[in-house]
Amino acid sequence: QVQLVESGGGLVQPGGSLRLSCAASRSIFSIYVMGWYRQAPGKQRELVATHTITRNGVTNYADSVKGRFTISRDSAKNTVYLQMNNLEPEQTAVYSCNARGAILGGGAYWGQGTQVTVSS
């Protein structure tokens, strides 16, 4: 129903910035929720940010990234972005893109993930 491919991860110094991209194989205009999750070493996967299409677009962020990370949806490019600023070593994780909604038949879809490493 949809394939998701993440890109933009890599090695960055503390205080630096990265922008992750999630390219979808179909229109994302009507997909209810697009989101970013992450899994750090020894930790369970956690929600980072979501973008919902209700009310002209609603965003939600984990407390640990609020004010520093920004999720956005570019429907013309079938792409969701995660802008990450002022990165800290604690943000090191594999970041994955997620899509869910009734238009997808009730299933959840994931990308392959992209590694983000924050280190000197």
Average pLDDT, the chain: 97
| Percentage of residues in the chain having pLDDT higher than 70 | 100
How is residue 43 annotated by DSSP?
S
pLDDT at 106 over 90: no
Pairing of strands 114-118, 10-12: parallel
As a whole number of angstroms, the distance between CA 37 and CA 26 comes to 21
- Cβ 104 vs Cβ 2: under 8 Å: yes
> Is the model more confident about 107 or about 67?
67
Instruction: Look at residue 32 in the predicted model and tell me its pLDDT.
Output: 96
Residues 6+ positions from 114 with CB-CB distance below 8 Å? 6, 7, 8, 9, 20, 94, 95, 96
Q: In sequence order, what are the residues at sequence separation of 6 or more whose Cβ sits closer than 8 angstroms to the Cβ of residue 93?
A: 38, 39, 40, 41, 43, 116
Q: pLDDT (tens digit, 9 = 90+) per residue, 23-73?
A: 999 999 999 999 999 999 999 999 999 999 999 999 999 999 999 999 999
Residue 115: left if φ>0, alpha if ψ -120 to 50, beta else—which one? beta
